[in-house]
């Protein structure tokens, strides 16, 4: 039993915190969010140079051979800073799918760009009106000559506007579905970009007669569901760590605010009714942190899919509940100021609200957890 962050993990997180403190202040982040691309190439290159995009890639492929546990402390730092660049999508979803499923030729061709950050990926797997369903319904890939023709549409693909390549799930038969690597600029791909409520960039994507080569298929024909199930769990574990950082930041800000804000001649933190609520926020965070640790550790070491699902879904329920509780209480305790764009807490609120829903909300994961007995 050992819960200590290793020195490598801590060094990476400390270095990242230092960079974010300098280059990703609240004001600088705001400028990035409001820029045309909503994305900072500078920050992205820095994240890649620091090795964040390499940590979870196997050593044989040029990475560091780490896992979710090795990324946990760094993801917390990203959560504190409310990072809007789609690092989670690159390393959690796309990176996981590629390292798990890519053929030898694909690894040689694709992983170097993923590792050095010069090639960005977004994973398009959600469809309109189908909520968190992993199985594609309306997106279909039909065999054509050596390759495939892709038609259909995907919803809120986080990171799509800045992505060079997409990983798209599509039906490839009566029952089965498969994953395809698609050039984001390929003929027939029409993005409809948007800004998300928490400042990220995403796009709805339409595919109309997109021609794909045989080498576009990622993993076995018919293998999309198992791959997505595992990769989304891995990404969820990273998202949980991100959430811990955001919640820690909300709790710190609330403590600081209530200790300085005076009403009736005293700091409002002197009121017991507020103290007990902040204690509850603290306990919620620590319980959530325990489950985030469990999720990260389990996706790295689980020997069965059910053990992995149980830990990740349990964690996501706890994190979603805590994110909702903490974000709502933080705004309430900040009073009117908590409602404004001017304070970071309202941005943290929006981020935590979306984290609670991403990859399945509490109800979704409660059902999945309960189904495991």
Partner 1 sequence: MDLSYSPEELAFRDEVRGWLAAQLPADIRDKVTGYRGLSKDDYMRWHKILAAKGWSVPHWPQEWGGTGWNITQRYIYDEEFGLAGAPMLPPFGPAMVASVLLRFGTETQKQRFLPRIREGEDFWVQGYSEPGAGSDLAALKTRAERRGDHYLVNGQKIWTTLGHYGDWIFCLVRTDPSAEKRQEGISFLLMDMKSPGITVRPLILMDGGHEVNEVFFDDVKVPVENLVHEENKGWTVAKYLLGHERMGSGAVGSSKRELAALKALAARELKNGKPLLDDPRFRDRLSRTEIELDALELTSMRFLDRMRRTGQPPGADVSMLKIRGTEIQQSITELMMQAVGPLAQPFVAVDDGRVDALASRLAPRYFNYRKASIYAGSNEIQRNIIAKMTLGL
The stretch near partner 1 (CB under 8 A) out of 84-92, 175-183, 282-290, 346-354 is 282-290
Q: What number of CA atoms fall less than 13 Å from residue 74's CA on the CB side?
A: 28
DSSP 127: -
242-261 positions binding partner 1, by CB under 8 A = 255, 259
Number of residues that bind partner 1 (CB under 8 A): 37
Q: What is the DSSP string of 182-196?
A: EETT-TTEEEEEEE-
> Per rule CB under 8 A, is residue 108 in the interface with partner 1?
no
**How far, in Å, are 1, 104, 148, 172 from residue 142 at the CA level?**
50, 24, 5, 6
Residue 248 CB, nearest approach to partner 1 (Å) = 13
Q: For residue 27, state whether it binds partner 1 (rule: CB under 8 A).
A: no
Near partner 1 by CB under 8 A: residue from 96, 154, 308, 318: 318
To partner 1, the closest distance from the beta carbon of 329 in angstroms equals 14
For position 359 contacting partner 1 by CB under 8 A, the verdict is: no
Is residue 367 close enough to count as binding partner 1 by CB under 8 A? Answer: yes
In the stretch 192-231, what mask flags binding to partner 1 with x, by CB under 8 A?
A: ----------------------------------------
Quote the Cα angle for 210-216-219, to 5°. 130
Q: Is 159 left (phi over 0), alpha (psi -120 to 50) or beta?
A: left
Report the relative pairing of strands 165-171 and 262-263 from DSSP bridges.
unpaired
Site for partner 1 contains 170 (CB under 8 A): no
Residues 6+ apart with CB under 8 A from 296: 67, 68, 69, 71, 72, 237, 238, 240, 241
Considering the rule CB under 8 A, would residue 314 count as an interface residue with partner 1?
A: yes
Verify binding: residue 332, partner 1, rule CB under 8 A. no
287 binds partner 1 (CB under 8 A): yes
**Is residue 262 close enough to count as binding partner 1 by CB under 8 A?**
no
- Does 3 bind partner 1 (CB under 8 A)? Our answer is yes
Q: Which is nearer to partner 1, 13 or 288 (CB)?
A: 288
Which of residues 297, 328, 353, 357 is near partner 1 by CB under 8 A?
Answer: 297
When asked if residue 337 is in the footprint of partner 1 (CB under 8 A), the reply is no
Residue 369 in contact with partner 1, rule: CB under 8 A: yes
How far CA 130 is from CA of 125, 126, 135, 189, 210, in Å, comes to 11, 7, 9, 21, 23
Q: Does 2 bind partner 1 (CB under 8 A)?
A: yes
Q: How far apart are CA 81 and CA 199, in angstroms?
A: 12
6 binds partner 1 (CB under 8 A): yes
When binding is defined by CB under 8 A, the residue of 45, 275, 332, 340 that contacts partner 1 is 275
Residue 51 in the binding site for partner 1 (CB under 8 A): no
Does 293 help bind partner 1 (rule: CB under 8 A)? Answer: yes
CA dist., res. 217 & res. 337, Å (int)? 51
127 phi and psi, to 5 degrees? -120, 155
Shortest gap between Cβ of 102 and partner 1 (angstroms)? Answer: 27
Q: What is the DSSP string of 71-107?
A: HHHHHHHHHHHT--S-HIIIIIIIHHHHHHH--HHHH
199 neighbors 82 (Cβ within 8 angstroms): yes
Piece in contact with partner 1 (CB under 8 A), picked from 28-36, 129-137, 275-283, 347-355: 275-283
Q: How far from 140 is each of 11, 77, 166, 179, 253, CA to CA, in Å? A: 45, 39, 15, 11, 47
Binding site for partner 1 (CB under 8 A): 1-6, 69, 255, 259, 269-270, 272, 275-276, 278-280, 282-283, 286-288, 290-291, 293-294, 296-297, 314, 317-318, 321, 363, 366-367, 369-370
């Amino acid at each position: 039993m050992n819960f200590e962050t290793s020195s490598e993990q801590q060094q990476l997180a400390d270095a990242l915190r230092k960079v974010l403190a300098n280059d990703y202040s609240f004001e600088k982040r705001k400028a990035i969010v409001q820029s045309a691309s909503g994305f900072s190439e500078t920050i992205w290159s820095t994240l890649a140079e620091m090795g964040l995009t390499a940590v979870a890639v196997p050593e044989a492929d040029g990475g560091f051979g780490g896992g979710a546990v090795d990324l946990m402390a760094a993801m917390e730092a990203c959560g504190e800073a409310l990072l809007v660049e789609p690092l989670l999508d690159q390393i959690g979803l796309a990176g996981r799918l590629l390292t798990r499923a890519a053929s030898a030729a694909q690894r040689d061709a694709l992983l170097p760009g993923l590792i050095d950050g010069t090639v960005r990926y977004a994973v398009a797997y959600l469809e309109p009106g189908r909520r968190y369903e992993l199985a594609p319904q309306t997106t279909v890939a039909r065999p054509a000559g050596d390759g495939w023709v892709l038609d259909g549409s995907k919803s809120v693909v986080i990171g799509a506007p800045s992505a060079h390549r997409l990983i798209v799930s599509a039906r490839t038969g009566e029952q089965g579905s498969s994953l395809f690597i698609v050039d984001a600029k390929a003929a027939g791909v029409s993005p409809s970009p948007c800004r998300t409520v928490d400042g990220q960039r995403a796009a709805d994507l339409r595919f109309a007669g997109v021609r794909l080569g045989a080498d576009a298929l990622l993993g076995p024909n018919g293998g999309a569901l198992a791959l997505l199930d595992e990769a989304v769990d891995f990404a969820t574990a990273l998202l949980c760590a991100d959430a811990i950082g955001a919640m820690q930041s909300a709790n710190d800000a609330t403590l600081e605010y209530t200790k300085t804000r005076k009403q009736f001649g005293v700091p409002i933190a002197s009121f017991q009714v507020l103290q007990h609520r902040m204690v509850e926020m603290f306990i919620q965070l620590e319980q959530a942190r325990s489950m985030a640790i469990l999720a990260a550790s389990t996706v790295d070491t689980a020997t069965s899919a059910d053990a992995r699902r149980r830990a990740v879904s349990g964690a996501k329920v706890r994190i979603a509940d805590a994110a909702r509780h903490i974000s709502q209480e933080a705004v309430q305790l900040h009073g009117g100021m908590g409602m404004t764009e001017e304070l970071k807490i309202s941005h943290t609120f929006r981020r935590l609200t979306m984290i609670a829903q991403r990859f399945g909300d509490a109800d979704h994961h409660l059902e999945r957890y309960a189904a495991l007995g």
